[in-house]
Amino acid sequence: MRTVVIDGPGNIRVETRPDPALPGPDGVIVAVTAAGICGSDLHFYEGEYPLAESVALGHEAVGTVVEAGPQVSTVNVGDLVMVSSVAGCGACAGCATQDPVMCFSGLRIFGSGALGGAQADLLAVPAADFQVLKIPVGINTEQALLLTDNLATGWAAAQRADIPFGGTVAVFGLGAVGLCALRSAFMHGAATVFAVDKVDGRRQRAADWGATPVAPAAAEAILAATGGRGADSVIDAVATDASLTDALNAVRPGGTVSVVGVHDLKPFPLPALSCLMRSITLRMTTAPVQRTWPELIPLLQSGRLDVDGIFTTTLPLDEAAKGYATAGSRSGDDVKILLTP
């Protein structure tokens, strides 16, 4: 099979590797029909995470089940499915909450070395009854791909931000996760959403969806716009030192900062005294994918939640290097890249 691999910063290639074996009696093999390039993939691409060996990339996949173990009961060979980017054992009390982040064995993420990469012809998925869902009627490929990671992450970010009805929210970073968080913030009752990004085109995209565009550094502008009070809730979908500092400075006393961006491996110098004196709540999580599906799928099916326009570019798998270069440019025209094996 073909799979996208990385050997070092910027070194993306499509490699032929042996087809994966069924990962136990509870697993499936999925023939991938669509895969996404995620902003967190760029941490490998841009050299922020060291590589001891080549890594098969990708954690967002939609495809068809081509082989299933005898213990799999929720999907069958031939079913079109989506695969959670975050994997749990599926059997512990933590996974019983439908949140793979709570897995007592520790979460695993496809395309990070622990499991195979989703940007491939085939993907082996363990504990399939927990990890895989047959795509419901009325959910298209782009929506399904967003449900595997970015939309689930953005939705969780808004849920954990303690957004009051009629409140003010700031979203830092307008990539796919940030744009999903922006739309989720409105769904959770925000009246005003400040959209923060250094790219003009991305701020304009957010403005077209009803947000108030703000350029970094944003804290001063948000404080001015709120009469010195600050935003009720801040969502950081970037998680650099600069964005985290700006987020903590932009939130009001007693407010919440919800972080879903992926930080690098260096410690962040948390201004703990300031947070203490202002009674700031800080929450951080990766995607609780499966837990969000019962909430998000009906909203997408009904049209109440709109995620159109987040995928901006589609390329064949063999042009993965071009896709990564496009994603890495972080332009206003290119937000989310879809690869088709």
Residue 29 confidence (pLDDT) above 90: yes
The sign of the CA dihedral 183, 185, 187, 191 is negative
Alpha carbons within 13 A on the beta-carbon side of 186: 19
Question: Which residue ranges make up each domain of the chain?
Answer: 2-149+288-339, 152-284
- The CATH number of the domain covering residues in 2-149+288-339: 3.90.180.10
Residues 91-110, mean pLDDT to the nearest whole number: 96
Residues 108-117, mean pLDDT to the nearest whole number: 92
What is the model's pLDDT at position 51? 87
Instruction: Confirm whether pTM is higher than 0.85.
Output: yes
The 10s digit of each residue's pLDDT in 182-224 is 999 999 999 999 999 999 999 999 999 999 999 988 999 999 9
Residue 294 confidence (pLDDT) above 90: yes
The sign of the CA dihedral 291, 293, 296, 302 is negative
Q: Which two tokens stand for residue 54?
A: 């080549």
Chain mean position to CA 227: 33
Write the CB contacts of 236 (distance below 8 Å, at least 6 apart in sequence).
Answer: 172, 173, 243, 244, 247, 257, 258, 259, 260, 261
Residue 67 confidence (pLDDT) above 90: yes
What is the model's pLDDT at position 313? 96
**Protein fold of 152-284:** Rossmann fold (3.40.50)
Tell me the one-letter amino acid at 21. A
In this prediction, what percent of the chain has a pLDDT beyond 70?
A: 100
Residues 22-46, mean pLDDT to the nearest whole number: 96
Tell me the one-letter amino acid at 3. T
Residue 50 confidence (pLDDT) above 90: no
